[in-house]
Every structure is written in structure tokens, then in C-alpha cells.
Structure 1
Amino acid sequence: MNSLNVDLRDSPLFQDAEKIAHAIYKPGSGLLVDVLDVDVAKNGRTAAVIGTMAESLEGRMPSKLFMTDIEVGGLEPVTTASTIDLECKFSPDGLTLAFLSAPIGTGNFKLQLYDVAKKQVHAAAAVDGWIEYLHWSRNDKRILLGVAGHGADISSGKGAVASKRQDEHPLPWMPDVRSTKDEFRRRSLWIHDLELRTTRRIPTAELNIWEADWCGTGTVAAVASKRVDEGGWYGAALYLIDVENGSVRLRYQPTDQLGLLCCNPSGTNIAVVEAICSDRGRVAGQLLLVDPVSGDVDRVWIDKGDVTSVRWRNRDQIVLGFHRGFETAALEYNSVSRQQTEIWSSGKFGSGGGFVRPLPIGNESRRCAFILEDYRVAPFVACSKGRKLTKTELIDAALGETVKKWVRRVDPIHWSAPDGLDIQGWLLLPKGNGPFPVIMHVHGGPVSHWHRQWLGRTSHGLTNLLLLKNGYAIFQPNPRGSSGRGQDFVRPVKGDYGGRDTLDLLAGLDHLVKEKIVDSARIGVMGGSYGGFMTSWLVTQDQRFAAAVSVAPSNNHISCHLTSNIPDFKEIFLGDRFDNPGGKYSLRSPVMHARKVKTPTLNIAGALDACTPPSQALEFYSALRQYGVDTAVVVYPQEGHGVQSFPAILDYAARVVGWFEKHMPSR
């Protein structure tokens, strides 16, 4: 197959990718193939589930809302149209379910209310923008809405594209106009009153609200910034806002980033996580408890890992999601006694969406629900009671057997970095006997991690399955800077982007070669976002790679800083300024080291990517051409930060595998 052809649909690899996708997504079958979100009503049994039920392999996969009984199972559809449904949350009395819904391709999410007894859905609130999240008040009568202005950027983890503006309909010849006063991007707070049937905006003109939650009846706590652009999130602080007059009080100014905001039912304690973060919406770090009156901060120390979700069970007890190396855990913390209790932990399961998010069920200690999965086990809803774990399987278990056809084994592995630091990762082995050709797949971030995540999801999963089917091993390292090992493990990458993290990765490959697991002559590297940068960077620093695929990279940190919607990211992780001649912006830019590259390199980007614009892939491609390196660039016209729609996902998988087959054949 010539991976440089524009149309690959008749190629064997594209058709193989299509067959795998059909086997996993089962389009048109009416079967649930993924579980994305869950909430449990007050009675402890009735649950709302949002999951994927594919209609075809075209566009974005729809996510639909269902009801189930977590003790019996079964699915009752609530929504049936081609929509993206998000954020399902029961009212405290369990009688009404609120959720967000938008037709596929619009991103214009609106509030919907489902009457559980009558089994009826109706649209609830008209707001000036699209709704990102919602929270019920404790009396069931009001819903707090986080609203983004039409034209505001979507976070990097969800594609890093600008949402559609509603106020302008330019003709094809009209220019794109940008300014420093893009008020249309502002994120605001609204309250929908169910009794009065009114929806009003809280007057917070001076703040851009990234996250918020009720803090009592007349106040909300918010993670907010003065800036409205996406980069403003990196400097956001914790505020209290009066819902009537919009007056604000600063409660905490962090050193790093804040997220996972959640207030206890009485409004007397604010829980929030502070962490070094590379992407909005991906927060894993230290739990803080903030007194809303005094602003006093209690830092909760939980050893050897990162808090990844926060939900109050009652006034004093908090249920926490936690990642600890290879382990996924649910913890309970008492804010009065300061006692920590482990509800459940396992090294056998991970969770979708990057991090585990246990949901407390009622007031009974240790009882919670969460979505669990593994590389070869499709997602299921799990409920803990004491130390017992029960499963509600909503997806046919045979789906996991389909994936197992191409994956012989998945192993957690350790190795030592040159400075002696213990580094962890995962090794996915194909059928057959080694030594195998290996593709090192570097995750995004850098503050993210590989964990036990279902292979039947996203372009990552499909591409990895196609690689495994064709005989390639996949190495997924978690170098320093990765989540799940505590903030002391993350902090060294701050200001040293492309430094010791590079050596961690190379040491991992040395370990695999020494153990005779992989073939040293057939080592490839790929990755997206940070992984895209690191792929480009590695081929400038080491000659061992037979082929490379760099996706959504930052290859010239100076030009990326000046064209990206998150320039603050660069300053944090390079520890420098773009206008410092001879500084890290230049020294750590792959494009500045292109003369050293010998590795055939495929560069891939999305034309709509606001985070790492497509010009970054083009720059490295052009630089490598100057030095006679075998290289190519592929830009998907309708994609952003990563490839997320069909059939582009099939094309992407075929091109990636085709590039490796050309330069380091598996057989």
C-alpha cells in the first residue's frame, strides 16, 4: 500500500481497519458498545447511563442516554436521535434527570430534563451559548449551568477547535478577524429555576468561569480567570460568587492549576484539586479543602498517587478517584477526622476518559459506582458495597473476545532511568513469538498517562489493534511528568520539557532490547500532542528509530507559542519565554535539529487544530525535506487536535500502519 495516496479506501489496510471497526462498533446493530458516564438515583438502584450505540461509521459516534437497574441490568433508551448526550445527573430526590444534548456536528449543547416516572423528555433552558456542565441545588428546584459563548474554544482533550459562532454568517470571501477583546468567548454562569420556569445569567462580567458548583444556597464556588481565552485557564484561581448580585471574593490563588471543584452539601467546605496540568479538563493531583469563609486551605496528603475525581457523600465524607502507579482505586476521606479509607483498588482494571471517577451511592460508607474496563475487557458499571464489587454488564462480553483475537498479552513493566528513577509502562504483545518489531507510543500531555483502557475506542485504539493484528508490539511508557505517581513525579517535567523525560523513554527501549523482547533493528515511535512533539524530538536526538509518525506536534516552540490558543502551556513546561534568543524555545524545538534526522517521518495534523496548528507539522516536514529525509505530511481538513471522526479514523489507522510497514516490515 502506498500510504501517500490521497484515497486509501481500496487498500488492504484501510479495509482491515474497516473490518476491525465493524467488529467493535457493530454499526446498525442496536447494541451498546461503550459506556461513557453513569449516575445513580437516590434509591440506589435506578441508574442513568450514557453510552455509544453506532448507527454507521460516518462522522462522530453518537452518545445516547439510557436507564437501567444496576442490580438487574438491561437498557431502556431515553434518547434515540443522532445526538451527543453528556452530563447525566439525577436531582437529589431522584425524580428528575438533567442532561445535556446536541445534534451531532453542532456542539450546541442544551439542557434537557427527563421525568423518571412519566418517561418524558423536554428542553428546559435557553441560554446565550452552549452548556458545558450542570449542578443541581440541594432543594431540587434550581440547576446551575456553566455556559460557554458561541465561538469559545473546546479543550485540547476534546479536539481543540473553536465552537461555531451564532452571531455571524460570513460570505466565503470575508476575512477571519481576531482581536484582543473576543468577548464572545466568555464563559458564564446561569441558573435555571424549575418552579419559576426562568433562566437567568449570574452577573459575573469580570470573570471567565471554567468550573463552578453550588456552595450553599446563595453562593457558588468557581475556578475562574480574568482572561477569556483558552490559555487563561492555566492561571485561574478559586472564587466565591454571590448568585444574586455577582459580587466575587478571591478564596485561593494556586501555584499550579485547579480543577475537579466540588462543594459539600451544606456549603461549608470546598474540595478542589491542585495539580501541574497540561490540558484543561485533565486534572490529577493533590486534594485541597478550602474554608469558604476564611479561605484557609487544608492540603490532604495521599501518598504515591494522584486524586482524579472528587464527590461529596455527605457534609463530611468525600469519595475520591485515585491512580497509584499501575493501580486504580476509590478512596473515602473524612474531612473532620482526616481518616482515609480504601473502598476498592485493583491493578486489573482502569477507567475510560483517562481517570477513574467513583460516584457515591447514598449515605452508606464504602458504597459507590464507577465505570471500569481493561485493554481487552469492554467497559462495565461496577458497584462496591463494603469490599465486595458487583458488575452490571451492559455490553456483550463477546466484544472483549473480539479484541483478544489480536492481543496475546498485556504486561506492566518497570525500568530504571539513567538517574535511577523507577519508570513504568505497558507492553502490548501480538500473537506469535518475539523478538517483535515494536512501536513506542508516547502519550499526550505531558501530564497524562497510559493505563488499562479499552482498546475498542478512538483512533488510538483502532490504530493499536491494526498494529497488533499485523504483528507489531506496542510499548506505552509513562515517563516522569506522567499522572498517577504523585506530584513529585510530575514536577520534574515542568521547565524541562524534552529533557530527562527523553532519557526515560530511551531507557525503556534499552530495557526491552536487553530482555530480548523486541527487535533492535525494528523500533518505531509515534504519538500525538506531547507525544507528537516527543516523536519529532526523539528522532533528532537518537538514530535507533526505523520509522516515526508524529501527530498534532509542536515542532517549533516559538511559532507554536505565537499561533496556539494555549501559549501559557509553553511558558510553564519550557520554563522560558519565546523572545529569549538562544533559550529553550529554540534549543528544544525539533525543527532546529532537523539536520540530525535520518528516520523516515510521517507528520499528521488536523486543519482545525487551535492547540498545535497544522503549520507545526508542515514546518518539520519542510525542514526534513531540506536535508533529504524521507518524509510526508498529511492534514485532515475536518479534524482538530487528533482524529476523531469516521471515516478519517480508518484512513488515519491505515496510513500509520502503512508507514511502519513500509520502513520496518513486521514480517
Structure 2
Amino acid sequence: MHRHLAALLFFAGAVSAQSAPNPRIAALITDLAKTRTPQQVALSPDGKLLAWTGDSNLHLIMTAALDQDRVLSPDTASKPGNTATSACKSSHPTWSADSTQLAFLSDCDLHGAKSPQSQLWIFTPATNGVRQLTHLTGNLDEPQFSPDGKTIAFLFVSNATRSAGATDAMQPAIGVIGQDNIEVQTVKTVEVATGYVPKNNLTDLHIYEFSWSPDSSRIVYTAAPSPGENNWWVARLYAVGIDASKPEFKAKESLLEPQMLVDPNTIPGPLHGLQITLPRFSPDGKNIAFLGGLMSDFGSNGGDLYITSSEGKDTHPFTEGRKASIAWFQWVGADHVLISEHERGKVHVAILGTSGHQMPFTSQNFDGTLGSGASVLSLSVSPSTRNVAFFASSFEKAPEVYFGSPGNLHQVTHLNDTLKPSWGKSESIEYTNDGFNLQGFLLYPAHYDPAKKYGLITYVHGGPSGANASMWPTAAFGPAPFSALDYFVFLPNPRGSFGQGETFTQANRRDFGYGDLRDILAGLDLLEKKLPIDPTREGITGWSYGGYMTMFAVTQTHRFHAAVAGAGVSNWLSYYGENSIDQWMTPFFGDTVYNDPAVYAKSSPITFVKEARTPTLIVVGDRDGECPAPQSFEFWHALRAQKVPTELVVYPNEGHHFREEAHRVDVLTRALNWFNTQMPAQGPTGALAR
């Protein structure tokens, strides 16, 4: 125990002790750090005003004058022409249905003084008036106006010590495990006119997301027993009456009485055992649509659309068999929905009938990735004008905000106009293996010369339910920086990925590391035949499931000459009892580790670790609940025992997704240096200096 703790502290301390990076790497990271990234976009329902956030500031623009941008915060709301950045952190803009009021979260008061936490504010564009609605202690998130504009509902964790969700740093495992220090996220409401917040809670369950009924009388939501970060994979669909205008609602201080509508754990048919997300009432209130599929992370959406009655009857899919993974949708009529979906490396936006038929008047493909901040691939929509707003980026284009019709978009922001890619060109590649038609991306070396040979790094995405996509990088771990240092970079989307429908996503169930690895190696075979790749300088890397695949790959083949495993899993058997999210495993492995240990053992890198020869850098956060640090220690220990070159770096106070900028930069720097040391890239002036 003491040796384990000492090692943890030693490698965490090594973060600051890293030697100076290669000057070319340092210059690259400086360039990457110039990127400014929009985070949220909210188009008013009448299409006249556009709110967006970036650099912790909230901006407001009239869509008739896209070059007139103002910064909005509690202390500057009365200044229509204000363009000065604010010290306030303002976020989560959301409009009332009549477009007359904008709600947002901010951690400043009316005088610009910082508060200990964010509160909910209301801004009225017609008068430039602003007022504070809440005075709560805890974490507020995802505010939504009721359709009648009288109430705002929001997610709330009372006295929160961390952000809700499995990717944030977990609390230290002390006290009575599973009982102490449990933080439950619920939905609270506030009256817009008075700021009154009823004392009652909807439920004692952990609520993940919600939406209003069109008559403002009900809320539909997904929820599961606490701890919430562990149980999203078994969440059910509920609805509850929440008419805040009724005296009995205000008077009731106990739990309300929700109605359970859909339980994927017991329902027969294609939804059985899958995950659900994005519940939305139809405009007439008679039905509820939601997304159902095999999903490995809350917020990483992909699957089919299902519909059920408002009472939870006749639940069925209406996109079953679609050869794409729907990620987001919004009702645009009584029997039509606007969708965005992963489709073979692109984003496809379309309108579908609830019969599943695609409507011809809206169908648009986008290269790259996009979103509004509300959900992955989400759009902010003005129903009356049929315009949309979102931010988007690709390997070729830095992130900006866009507005207009899907076929006639206008660039709103110019945050990154001066930035140009420092990496090579990208292309989508397609190939076949084991009867699957596969897709992935290839980044060329930045200074590509077909007369020279180059190393190649395979970048495996997380998930496994996820997808590699064309996306502008930041100064953090990712594929493009390797291309900037003159490697080919292969980004495969093997079986198990989003992008080709639910059957394809489910194709690696009970088969982790086998069919998906064969798909990846088949892609490498193809690239070696077509391009000047030096097979003695091939490496592999990834984070989360990509970190696991990196660990597994180096035990299955000696093809890779260097590896970097970020937040990986080395032993599925021990992992089952260590992680904070074990409910995700049964849908993918088919049973618990106690009932079927063999299926877990056959996919564990530690089972085959005596075959490993590849020099491997391992990085992880010390409070990672999704892929706990002991998994990285276990693999590092095994490699070191066999004299395989390895290094383990543990980052303090980090979860699965790193929050500290210095740590994100350090991970990228170490990864670049590791490949440079183990298999140096050839650039315009030869190999990088070691």
C-alpha cells in the first residue's frame, strides 16, 4: 500500500520535473494554444438574436447585423454597445419561447464582483434589464424555460463539491463507500416573475436530463438510483406533473410522484439492455421521442430514434436499420423531427417523418463536426424562420459560429481567421474487412514528400461507442499534432464505432480487442501498400477505450514500435471492482464478471502481457473513476517486470477528462516526445533532435 502511494506521488510530482521539450514541439504547442473555441450557441426562436459563449464570456448578436457583437454580463447588460471582455464567467444561454427573455448562468453580481458560484440570471433585450433569479448553494446546469415562459427548470446538485458526471475528478474514496459523499442531481424550478424556488424535489433518483411538455404542465426525464455517475447505463424514462402555477405544487415539500414510462432493462425488443437519452415531447404533447442505442458514455450519443405515447405505451423505434448513428434531434412538427447524425465520417442533417422516411426538403452533409453545446452534434433552431446556429470545425477550418439555413450559412465569428493548419492534409479512407465496409481518416505528414518514407501513428478513439471525426485541435492530446511533426496519422472507425447504424455499433459486443483490432490492422495493411510508410516506425495511441486498445494491441502484435496509452484498461476483471461506472459493462460484455469471468479475461491486455515488447508511455489522472489509475499501474508494472521500456505519469486531482490546462499540455508534450524518441519523424530537415 505504501509503495503504491509513493509511486503515485513520485509520478505525479514528475509532471513539473519534465525536461525542456524539443523546440519544434514547443513551437507547435504555442501555435495550438492560439485556438479560441466557442462553447455554446443559442438562437432566439424568432431568429432575430443569437447568443454564444467563448472565453468564458457571453456574446449577443442581432442576426440582421452579424458584425455587431456585444459582451453581456450582469454588470454590462445596461450597456448595449459593450464589447469589452468581462471577468465574469457566463454560460448556458437559453431563450424563452417568445424570444423576449434570455436566461443564463453567471458568477458575477451587478457590480462585476465575482461570486463563489454561478447563479441564474434573466436578461430582457427590449429594455437591457437584467436581474438575478436564484440564490442557491450548489451546482446549477442546463436551464430551460417552460413553453409558457413563467418558469425555468434546471439541473441542480445541492452543496456540490464537483461537477456531476463520470468524467470529472471523483471524490477521494473515504468513509462508507456507496453511502457517504453521494451527490444527487435533481431538477429544480424557479418562477421567472418572483424568483421563488419551491422546496420540493421531483424524485430521490439522480436525474440526467429533462425537457418540458408543450403545455408546461409536465417534465419528462431520464433518471436512475444514485450514485448517478455509475447508473446512467440503466436509467429509465419518467414523467412528472410540475405545474408551478398551482398552489398545491408550491405547498408540497416532499417528493413528487413521477410516472415511470419506459424501462430499457425489462422492455422486450430492440431497446432491451440499451441506453436512452434526449427525451422530447412532441408539439401536441401526445408522444415522447428519445434516442436509444448501445452507448458507452453519457453525452456521447448515437443510436436510433424511438417513440412512445405520453403515458409510456406502444414504445417502438422509427429509424431501425438506418445506416447512420443519430446523435441529436428536435421536433419540427407533429410528425417530423430534425436530426443530425454520424454518417461514415460526416455529419448529416435531415428531416425525418416519425414513420422513418426522410423528407427531401432538408438533407445536408457537413465535413467536420458541429454542435451548439446542448448535446453532441446539436443545432440551435429558429422554428419560425427555419434557420439554425452552431459552431463547427474540421481539420481544415478552425472553430467558428455559423448562422443561416442549412444550405446557406454565414460565418458569425472570426475568432480564428488568422490560423492555418500546421499539420498535413486529411482524407477519408474506405476499405473492407471481415464483411464490414469500414471508414476512417488519414492525416498526411505536414511536409509530405512522396519520395520519402514516413512513420505512422494510429490514433484509436474512445468509447468504444464513439467515432474519429475531422476536428480542429487544441493544445491537448489528439491526432493532428503528430501530423504536424511529419507522421502519417491513421484514425480508424472500426466495428463498434458510430457512423454506420446500430448493428455496426453493436458488432464488438463480447469481442473487445479482436474484430475491432483486425479492422484497424487491415486499414494499416492498405495504407502501407498505397503510401511511403516506414513499417519500422509505426506507433499506436489513444485515450480511454483508445488507451485500452493501445494496451491490448501491443500484446497481440509486434507491429507497433512505440505506444502511448491514455487512461487505459489493462485488466477487465480487476477493473470491474475498481471503477465508478460498472453498470456500463454488462451491455457490452453480456454478463457480470462474476458470472462470466472468461469473456473479461480474453479481452484483458494483462492476460497476454508477456507478449508485449513495445516501448509504452502510460498517462492517467489520479482521480479517474472511468478508467482508474490502478489499471495503468498494473500494466506499467507488468511491462517494467519484463524489461519493456515504459514510463507512467499520474496527474494529481484529474479525472477522466483533464481540466487543468497545464496537465493537458503536458500530456501532449510527453506523447510527442515519446514518439520522437522511440521512432523519430523525418521532417524537412531530417530527424528531430533527441
Q: TM-score range by the shorter chain?
A: 0.7 to 0.9
CA contact (8 A) 2:282 2:331 kept: yes
Deviation at 1:524, TM superposition (A): 0.3
Correspondent of 2:72 among 78, 94, 99: 78
Letter in 2 for 1:240: A
Does residue 1:375 correspond to 2:395, yes or no?
yes
Deviation at 1:479, TM superposition (A): 0.8
The residue matched to 1:545 in structure 2 has which SS?
Answer: coil
Deviation at 1:612, TM superposition (A): 1.0
Correspondent of 2:141 among 129, 132, 135: 132
Correspondent of 1:95 among 90, 96, 100: 100
Tell me which residue corresponds to 1:190: 188
Tell me which residue corresponds to 1:614: 629
Tell me which residue corresponds to 1:223: 222
Tell me which residue corresponds to 1:51: 54
The residue matched to 2:565 in structure 1 has which SS?
Answer: strand
Within a 5 Å distance, the mapping from 1:390-409 to structure 2 comes to: 390-399=410-419, 401=420, 403=421, 406-409=422-425
Greater Cα shift, 349-358 or 446-455: 349-358
CA contact (8 A) 2:404 2:410 kept: yes
Deviation at 1:606, TM superposition (A): 0.6
- Would the alpha carbon gap of residues 524 and 70 (structure 1) be closer, same or farther in structure 2, given more than 3 Å must change? farther
Deviation at 1:540, TM superposition (A): 0.5
Letter in 1 for 2:584: F
After superposition, give the CA deviation of every residue in 1:375-408 in whole Å (9 maximum; x if it has no partner).
Answer: 1201233334374333324324222x2x2xx223
The residue matched to 1:200 in structure 2 has which SS?
Answer: coil
Greater Cα shift, 639-648 or 527-536: 639-648
Letter in 2 for 1:495: R
What is the alpha-carbon distance in structure 2 between the residues aligned to residue 409 and residue 638 of structure 1?
A: 37
Deviation at 1:465, TM superposition (A): 4.3
After superposition, give the CA deviation of every residue in 1:180-223 in whole Å (9 maximum; x if it has no partner).
Answer: 33574212111111123201244333422111111232211111
After superposition, give the CA deviation of every residue in 1:104-163 in whole Å (9 maximum; x if it has no partner).
Answer: x9995532322323445443223453123121111111011111342466434xx33237
The residue matched to 1:572 in structure 2 has which SS?
Answer: helix
What is the alpha-carbon distance in structure 1 between the residues aligned to residue 439 and residue 528 of structure 2?
A: 16
Correspondent of 1:160 among 154, 168, 191: 168
Letter in 1 for 2:559: R
What is the alpha-carbon distance in structure 1 between the residues aligned to residue 121 and residue 353 of structure 2?
A: 34
Tell me which residue corresponds to 1:249: 259
Does residue 1:147 correspond to 2:166, yes or no?
no
Letter in 2 for 1:304: K
The residue matched to 1:87 in structure 2 has which SS?
Answer: strand
CA contact (8 A) 2:299 2:376 kept: no
The residue matched to 1:11 in structure 2 has which SS?
Answer: coil
The residue matched to 1:414 in structure 2 has which SS?
Answer: strand
Letter in 2 for 1:343: T
Deviation at 1:10, TM superposition (A): 5.9
- Would the alpha carbon gap of residues 358 and 647 (structure 1) be closer, same or farther in structure 2, given more than 3 Å must change? same
- Would the alpha carbon gap of residues 162 and 154 (structure 1) be closer, same or farther in structure 2, given more than 3 Å must change? farther
The residue matched to 2:323 in structure 1 has which SS?
Answer: coil
CA contact (8 A) 2:380 2:390 kept: yes
Deviation at 1:533, TM superposition (A): 0.5
What is the alpha-carbon distance in structure 2 between the residues aligned to residue 386 and residue 229 of structure 1?
A: 36
What is the alpha-carbon distance in structure 1 between the residues aligned to residue 305 and residue 597 of structure 2?
A: 38
Tell me which residue corresponds to 1:361: 382
C-alpha root-mean-square deviation of aligned residues, in Å?
A: 2.8
Does residue 1:68 correspond to 2:61, yes or no?
yes
Tell me which residue corresponds to 2:347: 328
After superposition, give the CA deviation of every residue in 1:35-73 in whole Å (9 maximum; x if it has no partner).
Answer: 222111133131001123xxxxxxxxxx32111233432
What is the alpha-carbon distance in structure 2 between the residues aligned to residue 472 and residue 252 of structure 1?
A: 49
CA contact (8 A) 2:106 2:118 kept: yes
Does residue 1:33 correspond to 2:32, yes or no?
no
Greater Cα shift, 316-325 or 516-525: 316-325
What is the alpha-carbon distance in structure 2 between the residues aligned to residue 483 and residue 107 of structure 1?
A: 40
- Would the alpha carbon gap of residues 100 and 269 (structure 1) be closer, same or farther in structure 2, given more than 3 Å must change? farther
What is the alpha-carbon distance in structure 1 between the residues aligned to residue 26 and residue 678 of structure 2?
A: 23
- Would the alpha carbon gap of residues 342 and 623 (structure 1) be closer, same or farther in structure 2, given more than 3 Å must change? farther
Does residue 1:530 correspond to 2:528, yes or no?
no
After superposition, give the CA deviation of every residue in 1:420-479 in whole Å (9 maximum; x if it has no partner).
Answer: 211111111121225320110111100111112112x35134xx4442232112111111
Does residue 1:345 correspond to 2:338, yes or no?
no
What is the alpha-carbon distance in structure 1 between the residues aligned to residue 637 and residue 595 of structure 2?
A: 24
CA contact (8 A) 1:16 1:466 kept: no
CA contact (8 A) 1:188 1:201 kept: no
Correspondent of 1:502 among 517, 535, 542: 517
Letter in 1 for 2:547: G
What is the alpha-carbon distance in structure 2 between the residues aligned to residue 583 and residue 339 of structure 1?
A: 44
What is the alpha-carbon distance in structure 2 between the residues aligned to residue 386 and residue 236 of structure 1?
A: 34
Correspondent of 1:178 among 176, 179, 193: 176
Does residue 1:238 correspond to 2:237, yes or no?
yes
Tell me which residue corresponds to 1:285: 303
The gaps in structure 1 that reach 5 residues or longer are: 27-31, 53-62, 165-174
The aligned length equals 627
Does residue 1:467 correspond to 2:482, yes or no?
yes
- Would the alpha carbon gap of residues 210 and 632 (structure 1) be closer, same or farther in structure 2, given more than 3 Å must change? same
- Would the alpha carbon gap of residues 317 and 116 (structure 1) be closer, same or farther in structure 2, given more than 3 Å must change? farther
The residue matched to 2:149 in structure 1 has which SS?
Answer: coil
Within a 5 Å distance, the mapping from 1:555-594 to structure 2 comes to: 555-580=570-595, 582-594=597-609
CA contact (8 A) 1:107 1:130 kept: no
- Would the alpha carbon gap of residues 525 and 4 (structure 1) be closer, same or farther in structure 2, given more than 3 Å must change? farther
What is the alpha-carbon distance in structure 2 between the residues aligned to residue 16 and residue 118 of structure 1?
A: 52
Does residue 1:307 correspond to 2:326, yes or no?
yes
After superposition, give the CA deviation of every residue in 1:219-265 in whole Å (9 maximum; x if it has no partner).
Answer: 11111113433121101111111224621212112221011222234
Q: Percent identity?
A: 25
Deviation at 1:85, TM superposition (A): 4.0
Tell me which residue corresponds to 1:423: 438
What is the alpha-carbon distance in structure 2 between the residues aligned to residue 665 and residue 317 of structure 1?
A: 54
Tell me which residue corresponds to 1:58: none
Q: What TM-score, normalized to structure 1?
A: 0.87
Letter in 1 for 2:448: G
Letter in 1 for 2:512: Y
What is the alpha-carbon distance in structure 1 between the residues aligned to residue 103 and residue 13 of structure 2?
A: 47
Letter in 2 for 1:37: Q
The gaps in structure 2 that reach 5 residues or longer are: 1-11, 74-84, 109-113, 243-248, 265-271, 682-686
- Would the alpha carbon gap of residues 51 and 576 (structure 1) be closer, same or farther in structure 2, given more than 3 Å must change? same
Greater Cα shift, 209-218 or 531-540: 209-218
After superposition, give the CA deviation of every residue in 1:335-375 in whole Å (9 maximum; x if it has no partner).
Answer: 489663452422533225794212221334x5322322211
Letter in 2 for 1:583: A
- Would the alpha carbon gap of residues 488 and 636 (structure 1) be closer, same or farther in structure 2, given more than 3 Å must change? same
Greater Cα shift, 342-351 or 657-666: 342-351
The residue matched to 1:585 in structure 2 has which SS?
Answer: helix
CA contact (8 A) 2:440 2:490 kept: yes
What is the alpha-carbon distance in structure 1 between the residues aligned to residue 240 and residue 427 of structure 2?
A: 48
What is the alpha-carbon distance in structure 2 between the residues aligned to residue 321 and residue 581 of structure 1?
A: 37
Tell me which residue corresponds to 1:318: 337
Deviation at 1:652, TM superposition (A): 1.4
The residue matched to 1:378 in structure 2 has which SS?
Answer: coil
Tell me which residue corresponds to 1:213: 211
The residue matched to 2:512 in structure 1 has which SS?
Answer: coil
- Would the alpha carbon gap of residues 578 and 339 (structure 1) be closer, same or farther in structure 2, given more than 3 Å must change? closer
The residue matched to 2:370 in structure 1 has which SS?
Answer: coil
What is the alpha-carbon distance in structure 1 between the residues aligned to residue 206 and residue 406 of structure 2?
A: 42
What is the alpha-carbon distance in structure 2 between the residues aligned to residue 181 and residue 472 of structure 1?
A: 49
CA contact (8 A) 1:39 1:48 kept: yes
- Would the alpha carbon gap of residues 529 and 651 (structure 1) be closer, same or farther in structure 2, given more than 3 Å must change? same
Deviation at 1:541, TM superposition (A): 0.6
- Would the alpha carbon gap of residues 398 and 271 (structure 1) be closer, same or farther in structure 2, given more than 3 Å must change? same
Tell me which residue corresponds to 1:295: 313
